[in-house]
Structures are given as structure tokens and as C-alpha cells.
Amino acid sequence: MSDFLTVSREAHDTLVSKLYQARGFTADESAEGARLAAEAARHGIRTHHALKALHLDHLFGSATGGCTPGAEIEVVESPFKASETWNANRKLGQSVAYRAIDRCIELADEFGIGQVSVDNAFHYLWGGGYVMEAAERGYIAYTNCTSALAEVVPFGGKFPTLGTNPHSWGFPTTDAVGFPLVSDWATSVVAMGRVQALKREGQPLPPNAAVDKDGNPTTDPNEVAALLPFGAHKGYAMCLLNELYGALIGGSLPTLRGRAAQAPEGEKTTTAFYFQVIHPDAISGSAFAKGRDQMENLKQVLADIFGHGNEGCILPGQFEAEARQRSDAAGGLHFTAAEIAEFNELAAEIGAPGLEAM
């Protein structure tokens, strides 16, 4: 962590909340935006912390009509007791996502499973943060979303018609391995947030991750025009799944999403979210070997997978758990000097105190 400085979480949350409120967001929305940003930084997710969130809001959100501060969620009438569909009315994505995962948990407690689909949404940033929270509370959770822009070229194609379209899974494994297993990934080789981070750091992209404006492969983050799906046709299929979910929920055409100025009258340009939470008891067959209970069986299965010489393998969510330990031990959040400087430029714009290294 020698390249990072530590700032207090309280100072971070206060500044980020003020920056959101200066853009017209309510105190609750601003606090939720700061909360997700802080948790991303706490867990080492540098591609989706506050700078990314505020940058997205400036480009596609409150400054352009893509996100509406103070908007109210409308719950659409449904005949399905364990399912809800929401019209987010372009409310801040983090606020919607926190409410959606909480509602899914309430439904799962009653029905064993709960799902919430969200139309007319704005980017919720780090999907792993929401499923991680549910997993820490003892549930299995999943979310996907359509990304703010079409930035990914479909396998075998030339033009970006897909989003980076992340998938996020969380499992309640804290008792088994010390932290929830969280599988959270963009379906592109790298997320666009990573491209922006590498640009700030003056570092190259990995090969076969992106193309320039002419469709040629590039590792220069300054030349990136579009991204490529991971795993060739397999990653492409995973990427496509989010667009299918979005289409069934009511989502917009991918190439128009986030581009209101290019959309014909009557077309939508908003994103769509999907959340699902499962109560572990709801999938239990209760016939575990040697008298084990469900969680002990989970622990034994993981021990078998990561035994036999595999003890050094990385677990999904392990890097984030280790980053969280480092952050908590330092008593704050880690940022580079360049990131702190960028925070302080934003603070100066609204006359707020900036961040200082502890």
C-alpha cells in the first residue's frame, strides 16, 4: 500500500455527501451515494468509488437529465407475491439499489425467494457491494444491470452495441472462510472505470481488451474507443444476458442508452436493474451427509474444493476482504495522491473542505 494515502471515512463521506447535495440530491440520496462509494474504496474497488460515481453523474446524470435528484420510486402493480417491478423514475442508482436489496430480503424472509426488477434507472456503480451486504446478512444474492453506455463490441462484430454489463453474486460463507464469497465482474475484459484508472496512472491495458476508433486492438487507455468481451463467445453470451433481462424489464435500446440527444422521440435511454435474494433454507434438501447441517456442509464442500494442494488458490471476494482488512486496520480509506487531488478540486468548486491524508 506504499502508493496510497489514508483519509478518514468521516471526512470522505461528509465531502461526497456535500458534493451530491450541491447537485440537488436529497440528504438521504447523498448519504447513500457516499456509503456505496466508501464501501467500494474500503474494499479496494478503485474503478467504482466516488470519483467514478460523480464523474458519471456529471456526464450522464443530474447535469444532463439522466438522473433526477429527489425522484420517488413507483412500485408497479404485480400479481406475483415474491416479485416486484419498480419504476425508478431516474432516481440515484445507489439509493434504488440499497432499497431493492433490502426489499428482496424482506420477500425472501416471507417467500423463500424475492426479486425486484427496476426500470428507468440510473447506474448503481458497484454491484458487488449490494450482494456482499446481503451475503453478510446470511442470504444468497444476485444482481445484474445494463450499463450506462454501449461500449462493448459483440463477439465477431465491429461496432459497440453492448454495455460492460456486470454480474454480481454473493454467498453467505463468512463462517466457512471468514468473508462472503462475492463473484463480481464486468463482462468486458476490463471495465471502463479501469481504463480511466489506468489513464490516470499512465499504465497500459492488457492485450485484447480494447479497440481504437478504427477497430484496431490497443493497449493505450488514451486511444480506447470500445471494449471487448472477456472469454470470447462465452463472455459475450454473459454480456448479452443483461441486455435480455433489460429488454424484458422495459430497458432502452443499447446504442441509445445514455445518449438522449441521439434518441428519436418516444425511445427510452435509461438503464435497467435486476435483483434476486434467496433464503438458504428455501433451497435446502435437508439430507446432508454425516449429520451435517446446511452451513457445515457448505464449509466442508469449500474445504474439499480448496484442499488437496489447492490451499493457495484465490477465493472470489478474497482480494476485497483483504483490502477491507487493510482499510480497517489503517482506520480510513485508501486513495492515491492524484485521487485526493481530484477530490479536492471538486471540493473547491463548492467551497467545501478537501480531504487530507491522516
Q: pLDDT tier at 192 (50, 70, 90 boundaries)?
A: confident
pLDDT digits (tens, 9 = 90+) for 277-324: 999 999 999 999 999 999 999 999 999 999 999 999 999 999 999 999
Distance (Å, whole) CA 270 – CA 65 = 10
Retrieve residue 36's grid coordinates: 456505496
Percent of the chain with pLDDT over 70: 99
User: Angle 318-330/27-42 helices, nearest 10 degrees?
Assistant: 110
CB atoms within 10 A of CB 346: 21
pLDDT of residue 105: 98
pLDDT of residue 2: 64
For the chain, the C-alpha Rg in angstroms (whole number) is 21
Average pLDDT over residues 177-195: 91
pLDDT of residue 84: 98
User: What does the mean pLDDT of the chain come to?
Assistant: 95
- Residue 248, pLDDT > 60, answer yes
pLDDT digits (tens, 9 = 90+) for 112-166: 999 999 999 999 999 999 999 999 999 999 999 999 999 999 998 888 999 999 9
Distance (Å, whole) CA 152 – CA 311 = 36
pLDDT of residue 1: 52
**N-term to C-term CA, the chain:** 14
Q: Which of 9-18, 187-196, 206-215, 321-330 has the lowest mean pLDDT?
A: 187-196
Average pLDDT over residues 36-56: 96
pLDDT of residue 358: 94
pLDDT higher at 347 or 213 = 347
- Residue 48, pLDDT > 60, answer yes
Are 171 and 135 spatial neighbours (Cβ–Cβ below 8 Å)?
yes
